[in-house]
Amino acid sequence: MSDRLNRFPGGLQLEGFKELSNREPTVPAPIPERLVLPLQQHIGEPAEPVVEVGQRVLKGEAVAAPGGYVSVPVHASTSGTVVDIGEYPVPHPSGLKSLCIVIEPDGEDRWCEREPVADYRSLEPSELRNRIRGAGIVGLGGAGFPTFIKLNPGPGRSIDTLVLNGAECEPYITCDDRLMRERPDEIVAGARIIRHALQARRCVIGVEDNKPEALEALEGVAVDGIEVVAVPTRYPAGGEKELIKVLTDLEVPSDGLPMEVGVVMQNVATAAAVHRAVERGEPLISRYVTVSGQGVAHPRNLEVRLGTPVADLVAQCGGPEADVAALIMGGSMMGFALHDAHAPVVKTTNCVLAETRQGIPEPEPAMPCIRCGACAEVCPVRLLPQQLYWHARAKDFDKVQDYHLFDCIECGCCAYVCPSYIPLVQYYRFAKTAIWAQEREREKADLARRRHEARLARLEREKQEREARHREKRAALAARSADGEKKAAIAAAVERAKAKHAETVSAEGPAESGDGETGKRPPDASSRRSA
Amino acid sequence: MLVAVGAVGALALSFGLVLGFAAVRFRVESDPVVDQIDGLLPQTQCGQCGFAGCRPYAEAMAAGEADINRCPPGGEATIATLADLLGRDPKPLDAEVGEARPRMVAVIDEDWCIGCTLCIQACPVDAILGASKHMHTVIAEECTGCELCVEPCPVDCIRMVPVTEGISVWSWPYPSDSLEAPG
């Protein structure tokens, strides 16, 4: 089968350490004393709480609603009482706290009302997407992008192939392996639902050939022409663009999405979650998590309720051993060190590694780059890691983007082979987030400029309006006083006429009346003028 | 001889007409260098540079009347980009105008606010909401942290607090455990 497969460039043969944790069947983790549910467990806008402190919730009840389009709800993973909504440590490389809903379980683990769909084919793709969104499903492979958005190719674009990603190429991680062995039926059922939602013609499940049991299990239940394909074990075969290249020989364009070449990829665990959401009415409240590394006595997989503290899982697996140096969330290549062992398991948590000091020796001090080019040979995206490194180090963010920094998938192959032990990926991560920060600053500056200009325009307009008003008033006043003068003239004329009349009648004291003619003004006219 | 003079003269005349027409038809109203400089400034409108806002400072820089190191909110990064644009040498921030600080946001103590509107009049980006004899408040997303509202407040109820960094805007630090970074 593998003779018609293709290769992606670069990559590494890594020791897998999979047998540490993939031998024993998965067991459920007990309900913890407290569940801490972060509102941001996905890429996009954080969810917004819809419960209050003190409120009782049932298992599967939504406790937070989507906070935007790129957002999904969060559900209670057991029944209990909301005891706090506040800032708690979350699994994130920054070690910062984030808003979480804390639930104290009541131990009953009572489900809320579930609404399973008997026949998914009776639903329109849009209705299926709504249900998948309502169940809070995001990519469970690690990125955490809301699944319902990936199931919407948009008008005028058709999807040819749905690829399910069961490659699980990173060392130590075996949660997808165990899921494929234990619940292949759920994965295939989910694949059929997703294929229906996308109206895709073909469906391929790609699994690395170091998981023969998983391949066998899937082949045993695959129906409806779903293909199960073994792909050569080579890191990072589980990368989205890499697996698409291997399975379909299609290359996703730089800055592009797989949709643009008619492919959509979902993780196998995501497919199982879709099946549970649609055909059982269960939202995403638990997942398989690998607990491994030299720092635990019994490495294995656990089915964990979201919100369970990582420390509980490590304890359940007989750890941590005395000399644990760090708890790592994710695998040994792309994971990050946890700052707080009480950080909860979230939707994207696939693995917890308890590493001893022997397991992760102190990083060697970095030495100057010797331009050997080993990094470029292993880069699966065919980037030039050396050039990226120079420009990221010099903080030349325009240049680093000219070398397609944002196509870097941070797989870590370049840093792994670097003979000078340069932490290359750290430079790329630094450059990426620094560029985003600059963009945010720029947007903020543009907003401030627009608002400042609008304010200046408003002040100018107000000034002109005020002046216009003053002009008008003056004009009105002038008109009125002109009016008054006319009246005064008339009054004076009347006075004169009266005086003349009096003169002719009395024919007496002409000098006096003449005086009155010129000097005397009607009282009403003068008062008006002064007004 | 006459033909040559005539030909050159005709050419000169026709080019003159074309250029004259272009000068009128494609006239650029404002100075594009000013726009470019203004685009690099952080638009806090704080006036710490000694000019009445970012644009006047940009105009002064374009005219060569002001130095490029007078913008404390922009800090080293803005000086570097300005130096790049204007072909001048980067230099440290002028100590006379203050020092670079993290971004701040104004917060009004709403219990103390007497509703005098003085801060509203001072805000260069209309980021304060309120009316006469009614409580005022700052629209945090639109506040540039310029501090111009602090001084006019008669009851001193406005203070500047650093912007808290959330997870969504967190940045990876510059790798420290490696070779020295170039200056």
* Residue of B103, B123, B177 to mutate when probing chain A, most A C-beta within 10 A: B177
pLDDT of residue B90: 85
Q: Which residues pair with A62 in a beta bridge?
A: A75
Q: In what order do the strands lie in the sheet with A263-267?
A: A227-231, A202-208, A161-166, A263-267
Give the residue from A228, A245, A173 showing the smallest Cα distance to A10. Answer: A245
Is the omega angle on the peptide bond into residue A236 within 30 degrees of 0, that is, cis?
A: yes
Q: Are residues B47 and B72 in the same domain?
A: yes
- Name the residue of chain B whose CA is nearest to A366's CA: B178
What percent of chain A is predicted at pLDDT more than 90? 72
Assess if residue B177 is contained within a domain: no
Structural domain contains residue B40: yes
Domain assignment present for B26:
no
* Topology (CATH) of A2-104+114-356: Rossmann fold (3.40.50)
Query: Looking at chain A, which residue has its C-alpha nearest residue B74?
Result: A441
How far is it, in rounded angstroms, from Cα A346 to Cα A76?
12
Q: Is B73 at the interface with chain A, CB within 8 A?
A: no
Helix residue spans in chain B (DSSP H): 2-25, 32-40, 54-62, 75-86, 118-122
Does residue B179 lie in a domain region? Answer: no
A454·B126 Cβ contact <8 A: yes
Specify whether B160 is located in the same domain as B134.
yes
- Does A419 or A1 have the greater pLDDT score? A419
Task: Please report the ipTM that was assigned to this predicted complex.
Answer: 0.80
Q: Which residues of B, range 104-133, sit inside 8 Å of A by Cβ? A: 124-127
Cβ of A455 and B126 within 8 Å?
A: yes
The answer as to whether B69 is a domain residue is: yes
Listed residue (B56, B75, B152) closest to B106, CA to CA: B152
Give the residue-averaged pLDDT of B44-52: 89
List the single residue in A with minimal CA-CA distance to B173: A430
Confidence of residue A303 (pLDDT cuts 50, 70, 90): very high
Does residue B93 sit in the same domain as residue B108? no
Least confident of A303-307, A423-427, B45-49: B45-49
pLDDT greater than 70 at residue B85: yes
A451: nearest CB among B126, B165, B170: B126
Q: Is the pLDDT of residue A140 over 60?
A: yes
Scanning every residue of chain B, which has its alpha carbon at the shortest distance from the alpha carbon of A427? B175
For residue B9, the model assigns a pLDDT of 96
Q: Do A441 and B41 touch (CB under 8 A)?
A: no
Listed range (A21-35, A294-308, A448-462, A480-494) with the worst mean pLDDT: A480-494
Judged by a CB distance cut-off of 8 A, whether residue A92 touches chain B is yes
Instruction: Tell me which of A16-25, A233-242, A292-301, B87-96 is least confident.
Output: B87-96
Query: How many Cα atoms occupy the beta-carbon half-sphere of A6 within 13 Å?
Result: 13
Helix/strand/coil for A101: strand
Q: What is the CATH number of the domain that holds B65?
A: 1.10.15.40
The residue segments making up the domain with residue B125 are 104-165
Residues B90 and B36 in one domain: yes
Chain A residues closer than 8 Å to B170 by CB: 92, 94, 96, 433
Q: Do A430 and B175 touch (CB under 8 A)?
A: yes
Kindly state whether A519 is in contact with chain B, defined as any CB-CB distance less than 8 angstroms.
no
- Kindly report, residue by residue over A233-246, the tens digit of the pLDDT: 999 999 999 999 99
Q: Do B182 and A432 lie within an 8 Å CB cutoff?
A: no
Of B44, B171, B182, the CB nearest to A394: B182
* pLDDT the model gives residue B183: 38
Is B3 within the bounds of a domain?
Answer: no
pLDDT of residue A361: 66
Q: Output the CA torsion A93→A98→A101→A105 (10° steps).
A: 40
Per-residue pLDDT band at B30 (split at 50, 70, 90):
low
In whole angstroms, what is the distance from residue B179 CA to residue A425 CA? 15
The answer to whether the beta carbons of residues A202 and A10 sit under 8 Å apart is no
Mean pLDDT of A172-185: 95
What's the confidence (pLDDT) of residue A28? 94
pLDDT over 80 (residue A322): no
Say if residue A464's pLDDT is above 50.
yes
Q: What is the DSSP string of A289-350?
A: EEEESTTSSS-EEEEEETT-BHHHHHHHTT---TTEEEEEES-TTT-EE-S-TTPBP-TT--
Torsion angles phi and psi, residue A12, rounded to 5: -140, 150
Cα gap B97→A383, rounded to integer Å: 44
pLDDT for residue A509? 52
Give me the CATH number covering residue B147: 3.30.70.20
Q: Does residue B176 fall inside a structural domain?
A: no
Residue, of B63 and A505, whose pLDDT is higher: B63
CA distance A121 to A404: 42
- In this prediction, residue A527 carries a pLDDT of 44
Partner-chain contact A455 B43, CB within 8 Å: no
Report whether pLDDT(A372) > 50. yes
* Domain tally, chain B: 2
Band the pLDDT of B177: cuts 50, 70, 90. low
Q: What is the pLDDT of residue A352?
A: 94
Q: What is the mean pLDDT of chain A?
A: 89
pLDDT on residue A326: 85
Q: Which residues of A touch B175 (CB under 8 A)?
A: 423, 426-427, 430
Task: Tell me what pLDDT residue A129 has.
Answer: 93
Q: What percent of chain B stands above pLDDT 90?
A: 39
* SS3 label, residue A87: strand
Residue with more model confidence, A482 or A318:
A318
Nearest alpha-carbon partner for B102 in B125, B126, B74: B74
> How confident is residue B26, by pLDDT bands cut at 50, 70 and 90?
confident
Per-residue 3-state assignment (H helix, E strand, C coil) for A155-223: CCCCCCEEEEEECCCCCCCCHHHHHHHHCHHHHHHHHHHHHHHHCCCEEEEEEECCCHHHHHHHHHHCC
| Domain stops at, among B97, B120, B145 | B97
Min Cα distance A453 → chain B (Å) is: 8
Cis peptide before A510 (omega within 30 of 0): no
**pLDDT beyond 60 at A414:** yes
Q: How far is A11 from chain B (nearest CA, A)?
A: 24
Question: Rounded to two decimals, what is the model's pTM?
Answer: 0.82
Q: Are B155 and A400 in contact (CB under 8 A)?
A: no
Q: What are the chain A neighbours of B34 within 8 Å (beta carbons)? A: none
At residue A490, the pLDDT reads 85
Does the residue B85 lie in any domain? yes
Lowest model confidence (mean pLDDT) among A54-63, B159-168, B172-181:
B172-181
Calpha distance A183→A340 (Å, rounded): 32
Sorted by sequence, the CB contacts under 8 Å of residue A513 that are 6+ apart come out as A499, A500, A502, A503
Q: Nearest CB to B42: which of A90, A363, A445?
A: A445
